[in-house]
Structure 1
């Protein structure tokens, strides 16, 4: 399992053998599939990897603000220039820029959640200091509370995505998703094959409860939304075939579920050779079976792999499980949130507690985003879950965990803190406070 995966290069004693192997792999990736059944075998073949649990990788997105003028969104060139000044990150994270200028750290997979958290905190300190030196602040909230949606990343993928969202009638939600939302992604091992169904089901069942715990985004684009997680509200307004949960509360094989999901999802982009939006609703299976020959051909292995990168379910299988439903939350909170989620999945006793606690609210995604811990059923589940995790926290996370338990018991999340700060300072003032306060 990895967040920053490196491609494995075949090795051989002879250079000719290596060249032949690479050439064969390239030809295979460009060979057109015969039908959807071939695609299914390809997608299902490596979507989950058999093995032990424990490894954790983290990805954290932060909105970037100009401290002198928080309404002005820093441009691509300015962001690139600042990133070029960032010294080597001690935890090994990679730095990338999201379509709206949010800055993401993607950490390497490490032995367990505490090590992944420690490494990410170290990288966050270095990154934040470099940006602050340049007059920019990094804000960990699930949604941009101040500025309207605007793309600054010039990549062709994102231009084509805008076209797709316009054609599909989800332009506003698509623009907000790309440029105004930020999350913490927790990547965990798929685990032993005989436990995949239960593990994937629990990862989904935890979604509503953890959304309520991590809710940090009551505002979006200068307006109160009435939701505790405006980020999740945005995602819920995109098409469910691409962004909805793969699983509900069923017991189906998660590999088959993912294959069906991917084949039924509409094709967003086709490389021809640049990314080009598909403006009609074409399930990938229809392209593979020749019912809709996009680009005058059937899809290749490269097309199938790229299609998977345009699917955004809250839990996405990538060999490991990429858990995507958490709001980005401030540094004083996210280590405990991450440890809670990883522990509830990886510790067998805590997992049993979580499965029982979340069963009544396992599919209440919208209610969690709207009401958060104000919902009594979600509050009850959250108290049981964070308490179970806190009992297993190492000493270095004791303070953060105690803080999270206290907040959850009182029915509070980072959304409440930000609301109070906005009432005191206004939206811009509250945003700048987050951008400049120490951990």
Structure 2
């Protein structure tokens, strides 16, 4: 069983070139899925950082980093990292179950909110920033290179929005036994459209209604699908992930001097670099280059030894704890998983409809109600109140996006951003 979910970054310590495409394929397959009994859960929650006195202006990078540097260790052991638009991410270590993972992340979020409030800042966990234009505030070379690559391949606007204006809840789950891998990966994808619709919290961007309930998912859909599209489930998932990774274009080449990065301004599949057909940075790639390339691929479900579920909009409490509980229950509980697979079958692959229409689509609404009923019946006692609240929201045909829209229409997009920064009200135990 995995004892920790690995870092999204890797070092340049292995300088040996890969021995061609078969060697690269084998390297990806070996790391794709590791046997691990379902149970442990890791959560990652992103939120937009907001100046409560001037919400229309992004917080300067030096101010953000100064605050984070002064934080110290958090009680639940979450790491605090920063995204290119100034979004703050809390990444929790794996916990024995989803109840413990939620409790730890909640405690860390409370400490972080308190520290930020002392400097007049708040956190808005929404799938997309409803107010501010996309703008990179991080000076990091990775993000400069990503920006240049997206511009070169014709994804300037979507790339900028993805990097600086979106936020998600990620749920990390063990891969299961090898005999389960194909079924678990397939179910994680089948759940995608339904949970995109259920979690949708991003109906605005740059102060305007977008006519999408999950603008975050719409932005990801506008990016290069060779990098961001789902696996298709046509074979062994580790083999398919390796094929996907080697066909995906290289985004950047890391330089050995002081962590620099050189953008790749054309479409060069990693396989062409591995084969020697194209040299990037004047050299062949190493295993470390391939590991880093994997961190620049953003499918809805990424295989990192475990299952990284990436398609949920960030949402305020109690919705993100409920979403974490529902996603975990529907994938890890065998009874709930069977019910969810049947409920999702009629809407499999409808990613775009889920992002645009959400629960207003009758088939997606029916599938969501079936999934929430299955999750509620098998959900952990410690999160039952949150799952019940989400089930009631879904039953009414609503998602967190409706609250955002209601606030924006009555008081403006700045009010919607600020409302998401409010401290959560603890739910009363109903079990």
Normalising by structure 2, we get a TM-score of: 0.95
Tell me the distance in 1 between the aligned counterparts of 2:214 and 2:381.
30
Q: Show the counterpart of 2:429.
A: none
Residues 93 and 108, structure 1, Cα contact 8 Å, conserved in 2: yes
Q: 1:124 aligns with which of 95, 100, 109?
A: 109
Shift of 1:106: 0.2
Counterparts in 2 of 1:413-432, with a 5 A limit? 413-432=399-418
Cα shift readout 1:194-237 (whole Å, capped 9, x = no counterpart)? 11000000000000000000000000111110000000000000
Q: What SS does structure 1 have at the residue aligned with 2:281?
A: helix
Q: 2:152 aligns with which of 144, 149, 167?
A: 167
Alpha carbons of structure 1 residues 376 and 77: separation in structure 2 relative to 1, 3 Å? same
Tell me the distance in 1 between the aligned counterparts of 2:86 and 2:73.
21
Q: Does 1:44 align with 2:52?
A: no
Q: Show the counterpart of 1:82.
A: 67
Alpha carbons of structure 1 residues 406 and 300: separation in structure 2 relative to 1, 3 Å? same
Q: Does 1:53 align with 2:54?
A: no
Tell me the distance in 1 between the aligned counterparts of 2:319 and 2:213.
16
Gaps of 5+ in 2: 426-431
Tell me the distance in 2 between the aligned counterparts of 1:327 and 1:403.
17
Residues 95 and 103, structure 1, Cα contact 8 Å, conserved in 2: yes
Q: Show the counterpart of 1:183.
A: 168
Q: Give 1 or 2 for the bigger CA radius of gyration.
A: 1
Residues 175 and 306, structure 2, Cα contact 8 Å, conserved in 1: yes
Q: Show the counterpart of 1:272.
A: 255
Q: What SS does structure 1 have at the residue aligned with 2:420?
A: helix
Tell me the distance in 2 between the aligned counterparts of 1:65 and 1:127.
13
Normalising by structure 1, we get a TM-score of: 0.93
Residues 12 and 289, structure 2, Cα contact 8 Å, conserved in 1: no
Q: What SS does structure 2 have at the residue aligned with 1:322?
A: strand
Q: What SS does structure 1 have at the residue aligned with 2:412?
A: helix
Q: Show the counterpart of 2:138.
A: 153
Cα RMSD after superposing both structures: 1.5
Q: Does 1:412 align with 2:395?
A: no
Residues 316 and 424, structure 2, Cα contact 8 Å, conserved in 1: no
Counterparts in 2 of 1:11-22, with a 5 A limit? none
After TM superposition, the structure 1 stretch with the greater mean CA deviation from structure 2, 366-375 or 86-95, is: 86-95
Counterparts in 2 of 1:330-369, with a 5 A limit? 330-369=316-355
Residues 173 and 237, structure 1, Cα contact 8 Å, conserved in 2: yes
Tell me the distance in 2 between the aligned counterparts of 1:54 and 1:275.
38
Q: Show the counterpart of 1:205.
A: 190
Question: Would you say how many aligned residue pairs link Structure 1 and Structure 2?
Answer: 419
Cα shift readout 1:101-134 (whole Å, capped 9, x = no counterpart)? 0000000001111110111111111111111111
Cα shift readout 1:314-346 (whole Å, capped 9, x = no counterpart)? 100000011100000111211111100000000
Q: 2:20 aligns with which of 13, 35, 40?
A: 35
Cα shift readout 1:275-327 (whole Å, capped 9, x = no counterpart)? 11111111000111111111222111111111101100010000001110000
Shift of 1:87: 4.7
Shift of 1:51: 2.3
Q: Show the counterpart of 1:5.
A: 6
Q: 2:286 aligns with which of 300, 303, 311?
A: 300
